[in-house]
Amino acid sequence: MKKSIWWKEHLLSLAIGISALIQLIVLFYFQFGTGSSSTKNYIPMTILPYVESMKEVKPRVEKKVIQEVSAEEATDTQEENQTEEIQNTTTQQSVNQEPNFMPFVRVDEIAKSLVSLQPEYPDLARNAGIEGTVVLEVYIDEDGRVRKVIVLKGIGFGCDEAAVRKVESSSFIPAKMNGKPVAVRQKITFEFKLN
């Protein structure tokens, strides 16, 4: 009759268990032991108010008569002049050049591209057999120029970049409302399909 020791039969299981335990210890050390927080690198977001137009306060210009005064009178008038200068300085409100939101406005005619908006299929995506839909949000001004492009839904492998390049290099007939060209925000969808 052969005597067996239990640990010899389960040596592989013990080695895997010890390895997993060491990995957990290392993971917890680097996650919690270094004292660094993963949120320290983030910058808090603030929402800036939308300002319709820049307001500028013009300084008042007053003619002053120069008089000779004694040293005591000079210090008193100097303090008054400094206070007056502070009150007369030009102040400006900061203007957010691009609003955080764009109100929805129904237009009579949407913006239309002057050329075909079919981007070139990227070789990386073609070789990997990638198919899918890319959705862009495009800001088009009243002259038909593309001002900003945001990828709302992408598929990667160079398809998102190809769609953005195609839109940015295109010109548009501007959207119209009441017969006048207007700036719009428009969604454009691209289908990438292999033949």
pTM reported for the whole predicted model: 0.47
What residues have CB less than 8 Å from 154, skipping those under 6 apart? 134, 160
Mean pLDDT in each 10-residue stretch from start to end of the chain (195 residues)?
63 81 79 52 46 53 55 55 48 43 69 85 92 93 92 94 93 91 91 89
Spatial separation of the C-alpha atoms in residues 195 and 182, rounded to whole Å: 38
What's the rounded Cα separation, in Å, for the pair 174 and 184?
8
Domain ranges of the chain: 1-34, 112-192
CATH superfamily to which 112-192 belongs: TonB (3.30.2420.10)
